[in-house]
Amino acid sequence: MGKIEDVYNACNPLFPLPAGDPRYVPCGEARGGEDVVEIFARRIRRSEKPLCQLFAGHLGGGKSTELLRLKAELEQPRDGQNYLVVYFAADEEDLDSNDVDFSDILFAVIKELASQLREKDIELRPGWFRSIWEEIKGILQLPVEFEKLDLPAGFAKLTAVIKNSPDSRKLIRQAVEPRLSSLIEETNHVLADAFERARSQGYRDLVVIVDNLDRVTLRVVEDKTGTTTHDLLFIERADQLQSLRCHVVYTVPVSLTYGQKAAVLLSRYPNIGPRLPMVKIADPRGRSSRRGIEIMRQILALRFQSVGVKVEEVFPDQRLADRIIDLSGGHPRHLLTLLRFALDRVEDLPLTTDAVERAVQVFANTWIVPEDHWLFLPEIHRTARIKSDLTHQAMLYNLVVLEYLDGEEPWYAVHPAVRHLRRFREAISGKGKAKSRR
């Protein structure tokens, strides 16, 4: 395999870095000055009672990498004790991000607990799950008897059905909803029983990290004026999401933590965690931020270094790298995506100016900006502020607008890819009333 293939694979934007990976670059200095992992870990270690914490940030902004660091941090012994941490990405096997309710999450948590605790020789005892399984088995017409089915396998089958069959998902929710309180109570009994045995192995407490819930699709719910799918799950189901008697961290959409619903969210989740903003590569006035750009350069350099390739072998001119950095807006996944788009357009290293510019244009053309957004984007570009309504929350969720932290207050910028579009330039100049072609 040649060097260009090595670079291409080293820069896969879809996979978070595992804890301790030498390619990890600390970005706290350019993300508002805080180490979010340190804050989450301190809260867990200091609290006598289980905490439910929320972790918000843009899609693809690096939350998964930070949560894997949190898992490793809590698993390190301190004062002779460490934590038993169960981490899973909810949408990989268990949930359909287009349609998620609390019962789906609960079944996914049970499945992952049963599976991951088994790896540590801790078995979850079926208990009351026997009766709920029999009821669900009847609904789904499954031939497997509970006595012949272990808990991880049984709930793996169940979560697969919930994810892949909308009709079965609806039937299961209808069966479970009247018994949800009992299911939560029994889940906590099973957790308590399992954890008593875990304590004998030296664990201080149990931590469950549910990643990728921020990918739940944002849309207005029919027959509920102004209520979104995010409201239904994270606000109306707040009591249930906090009901597990162990430390829990959920990822949530950044759009939910801003605007009119932010105060409501804080009142429901008093232990809401810090947000993860973008790497600041420019200030609100558009002036370059040297430290942020250096961090983004280092992200690329360490990826190349991991496969024995020097930066100058990829970018013969540093201005080509900075062009990609600029269009990424300080979004780590978009940085790697842009790089791979450019690599697609050369037969071998190094990258050319034409390849980078074509990648920039292709990347910008992927942005589908709703018509009503164009009414507000010039004002956001001018003021670096957004309003507290559903339209602006959608802009954050869809990455049309990015959040940064500069000092004490966040500020907002139209994504550079959107700014690259002709329609944006027309909107800024006052010629944007013509119908958009995208």
- What pLDDT was estimated at residue 70? 98
Cα 108 off chain centre by: 17
Please state the pTM of the whole predicted model: 0.92
Q: How many CB atoms lie under 10 A from the CB of residue 110?
A: 23
Helices (H), 126-179: 129-140, 151-164, 166-176
Q: What confidence tens digit (pLDDT) does each residue in 227-247 have?
A: 899 999 999 999 999 999 999
Backbone phi, psi, residue 288, to 5°: -60, 140
Contact 100, 233 (CB under 8 A): yes
Cα 62 off chain centre by: 7
Locate the domains of the chain by residue range.
Answer: 33-268, 371-429
- DSSP structure class, residue 259: S
Label the pairing between strands 52-57 and 401-406: unpaired
Sign of the dihedral defined by the CA atoms of residues 21, 89, 86, 206, in that order: positive
Contact 339, 296 (CB under 8 A): no
326 to each of 281, 358, 381, how far by Cα in Å? Answer: 7, 15, 16
3-class secondary structure, 96: strand
Residues in the chain, pLDDT under 50 = 144, 146, 434-438
For residue 115, give every residue at least 6 positions away whose Cβ sits within 8 Å of its Cβ, in sequence order, or none.
152, 156
Q: What confidence tens digit (pLDDT) does each residue in 25-50 have?
A: 999 989 988 899 999 999 999 999 99
- What pLDDT was estimated at residue 127? 65
- What pLDDT was estimated at residue 298? 98
For residue 165, give every residue at least 6 positions away whose Cβ sits within 8 Å of its Cβ, in sequence order, or none.
none
- What pLDDT was estimated at residue 128? 60
